[in-house]
């Protein structure tokens, strides 16, 4: 079965190193909490809010062992008035036997406000 795993995080500044670190933590947490390996990932789609342009968040995957062949694409998030600033969002498309209910979506830092219904206290 193909499933999508959502996640988001925020940074405090439009700074490349901080963006890469936050994205790396986000992806690693998604992978760990959903017990998936890079081989199970079809692709990852990432967006950044319009105020983040210091680097491509996708570069963080190159810092994670085994992710050098996972296809990844970045885009700019739609600039909706009142949306969360300094936010990086991801959609990880995986092959898994887990049901939708068993999928753990990950929202870190200020991004926790995006989906409070999906945030678990273990993060």
Q: What is the residue range of 34's domain?
A: 2-113
| Band (108; pLDDT cuts 50, 70, 90) | very high
Residue 122 clears pLDDT 50, i.e. is over it? no
Residue 119: inside a domain:
no
Closest CA to 9 of 83, 120, 85: 85
Using CA atoms, how far apart are residues 54 and 5, in angstroms rounded to an integer? 25
> What does the angle CA 121 – CA 17 – CA 73 come to, to the nearest 5 degrees?
80
Residue 103 clears pLDDT 70, i.e. is over it? yes
Residue 118: inside a domain:
no
Out of 62, 95, 102, 120, which one is annotated catalytic? 62
Q: How many domains does the chain have?
A: 1
CATH code of the domain containing 104: 3.30.1330.40
Out of 74, 98, 110, 112, which one is annotated catalytic? 74
Residue 14: inside a domain:
yes
Tell me whether residue 87 is exposed, middle or buried, using C-beta atoms within 10 angstroms of its C-beta: 0 to 12, 13 to 18, 19 or more.
Answer: buried
pLDDT in tens, 34-48: 999 999 999 999 999
CB 20 within 8 A of CB 59: yes
Is 115 labeled as catalytic in the residue annotation? yes
pLDDT in tens, 53-100: 999 999 999 999 999 999 999 999 999 999 999 999 999 999 999 999
Is 74 labeled as catalytic in the residue annotation? yes
Residue 123: inside a domain:
no
Residue 120: inside a domain:
no
Residue 59: inside a domain:
yes
Residue 122: inside a domain:
no
CB 72 within 8 A of CB 20: no
Is 6 labeled as catalytic in the residue annotation? yes
């Amino acid at each position: 079965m193909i499933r999508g795993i959502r996640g988001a995080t925020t940074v405090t500044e439009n700074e490349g190193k901080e963006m890469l670190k936050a994205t790396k933590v986000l992806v690693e947490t998604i992978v760990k909490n959903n017990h998936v390996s890079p081989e199970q990932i079809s692709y990852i789609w990432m967006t950044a809010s319009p105020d983040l342009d210091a680097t491509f968040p996708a570069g963080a995957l190159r810092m994670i062992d085994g992710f050098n062949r996972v296809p990844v694409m970045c885009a700019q998030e739609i600039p909706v008035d009142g949306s969360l600033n300094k936010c990086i969002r991801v959609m990880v498309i995986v092959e898994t036997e887990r049901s939708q209910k068993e999928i753990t979506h990950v929202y870190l830092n200020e991004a926790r406000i995006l989906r409070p219904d999906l945030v678990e206290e273990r993060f």
